[in-house]
Amino acid sequence: GQNIDQPTEMTATEGAIVQINCTYQTSGFNGLFWYQQHAGEAPTFLSYNVLDGLEEKGRFSSFLSRSKGYSYLLLKELQMKDSASYLCAVMDSNYQLIWGAGTKLIIKP
């Protein structure tokens, strides 16, 4: 079967750095996506990785290791507005997105 695993909840302090991990087992791989979802709102796209390595976008970076079936989202200089759920999704061989349950990130002052 296909499976995406992420921690259910994480807590971090404003101004700090947090790493949210995602491991996956899917039938084929055509890229991995990270989305941010604030409570009661729709997910918004953060990043896309299809090759191994690190992609940096401002305060957010995403890393992929295809051989390990592993990715992480790194958030630096945390702000209170970063409190949200972060969803990991993998595009399988049929170009369908398989979604993780999301990681709820709580930022404390």
Partner 1 sequence: SQTIHQWPATLVQPVGSPLSLECTVEGTSNPNLYWYRQAAGRGLQLLFYSVGIGQISSEVPQNLSASRPQDRQFILSSKKLLLSDSGFYLCAWSDLAGYNEQFFGPGTRLTVL
Chain positions contacting partner 1, by CB under 8 A? 4, 30-31, 33, 40-45, 48, 87, 89, 91, 95-97, 99-102
* Chain centroid to CA 102: 8
- For partner 1, the closer of residues 1 and 109 by Cβ is 1
Comparing C-alpha atoms, which of 73, 62, 60 is closest to residue 103? Answer: 73
Q: What's the min distance (Å) between Cβ of 98 and partner 1?
A: 9
41 burial via Cβ count (<10 Å: 0-12, 13-18, 19+): exposed
Q: What's the min distance (Å) between Cβ of 8 and partner 1?
A: 8
- For partner 1, the closer of residues 5 and 74 by Cβ is 5
- For partner 1, the closer of residues 39 and 109 by Cβ is 39
| Residue 45: Cβ within 10 Å count | 10
Q: What's the min distance (Å) between Cβ of 37 and partner 1?
A: 9
Instruction: Please tell me the distance from the alpha carbon of residue 11 to that of residue 89, in angstroms, as a whole number.
Output: 21
- For partner 1, the closer of residues 32 and 75 by Cβ is 32
Instruction: Please tell me the distance from the alpha carbon of residue 61 to that of residue 37, in angstroms, as a whole number.
Output: 17
Q: What's the min distance (Å) between Cβ of 39 and partner 1?
A: 10
